[in-house]
């Protein structure tokens, strides 16, 4: 196993990408915040099916964290991540510092609407502006032909697609299926915060959402189904529910029965916040 090329400056990243471009190679990107798990590795595999070279960024982006959130506690394990990237055959790891991404005097941000409205934004109002700003910078720095994002962060996926459409960024956005453990729990770096008892509770999240989605697809009133799902989460041992909502799959507008939908949820286990989503088939 060999580790990927590692660069921590925009200049070095662009120099490497320029060489690949000169050779006529197609380039894919997988933006991450590190603490890589099997879900991330699945994104890299898809990226390498779509392109000859894969750039993986590892950057814990401070602009998407509110002051009350877990920026300082977010897991950082670069040496382990680089080993995993080597096994996955990623070609380059971009590991910039905060100062490289946001140098002194940085004063610009991307403000997003559309699919960013509601859901996560109701509870993390600065989150998607932070995501859009760092993703736009990464795309301008690496100039990938395509980028792969997981469907586990479904609203984020929709926001990034809107970002590329609205700003004419020439990057194909590929959504990748959520990778789950054998019990159905979506892979997430924050799962590392959970003890065994909490994991057993967390593993009920997807089943509760799938049950609600099936009931809605069968004709149940969506308000009744989502309210019952919220009650079921609390009964299962979750400590708080931020939302359980149905939205249209493409736009994240309020769901209508004649459209394919997504049922999205965010809930808490103690101090750990978990999100997930499932498809709601059209009728």
Catalytic residues: 40
CB 269 within 8 A of CB 196: no
Binding positions = 33-40, 64, 150-153, 156, 179, 187-190
Residue 58, judged by CB atoms within 10 A of its CB (0-12, 13-18, 19+), counts as buried
Residues forming a β-bridge with 150: 176
Buried residues in 167-204 as b, exposed as e (16+ CB within 10 A): eebebebbbbebbbeeebbbbbbbbebbeeebeebbbb
CB 19 within 8 A of CB 158: no
How far apart are the C-alpha atoms of 44 and 132, rounded to whole Å?
21
SS3 261: strand
Which residue from 86, 70, 4, 68 is spatially nearest to 33, judged by alpha carbons?
70
Residues forming a β-bridge with 277: 264
Binding positions for (R)-pantoate = 64, 156
Residue whose tokens read 């359980």: 244
The separation between CA 22 and the C-alpha centre of its own chain, rounded to angstroms, equals 31
Query: Phi/psi at 161 (nearest 5 deg)?
Result: -60, -45
Instruction: Name every residue whose Cβ is closer than 8 Å to that of residue 68 and which is 6 or more positions away in sequence.
Output: none
């Amino acid at each position: 196993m060999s580790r990927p090329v590692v660069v921590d400056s925009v200049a070095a990243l662009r120099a490497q990408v320029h060489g690949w471009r000169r050779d006529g190679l197609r380039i894919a990107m997988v933006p991450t915040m590190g603490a890589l798990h099997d879900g991330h590795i699945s994104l890299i595999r898809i990226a390498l099916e779509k392109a000859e070279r894969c750039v993986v960024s590892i950057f814990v982006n401070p602009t998407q964290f509110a002051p009350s959130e877990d920026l300082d506690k977010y897991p950082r394990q670069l040496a382990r991540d680089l080993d995993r990237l080597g096994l996955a055959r990623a070609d380059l790891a971009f590991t910039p510092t905060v100062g490289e991404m946001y140098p002194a005097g940085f004063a610009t941000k991307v403000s997003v609407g559309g699919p960013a409205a509601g859901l996560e934004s109701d509870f993390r109002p600065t989150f998607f502006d932070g995501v859009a700003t760092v993703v736009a910078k990464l795309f301008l720095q690496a100039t990938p032909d395509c980028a792969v994002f997981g469907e586990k962060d479904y609203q984020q996926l929709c926001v990034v697609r809107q970002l590329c459409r609205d700003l004419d960024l020439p990057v194909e956005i590929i959504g990748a299926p959520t990778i789950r453990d054998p019990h159905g729990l979506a892979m997430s770096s924050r799962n590392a915060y959970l003890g065994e008892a909490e994991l057993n509770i967390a593993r009920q999240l997807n089943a509760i959402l799938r049950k609600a989605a099936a009931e809605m697809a069968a004709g149940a009133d969506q308000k009744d189904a989502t309210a019952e799902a919220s009650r079921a989460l609390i009964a299962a041992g979750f400590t708080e529910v931020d939302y359980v909502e149905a939205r249209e799959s493409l736009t994240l507008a309020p769901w209508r029965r004649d459209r394919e939908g997504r049922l999205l949820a965010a809930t808490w286990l103690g101090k750990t916040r978990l999100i997930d989503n499932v498809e709601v088939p059209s009728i």
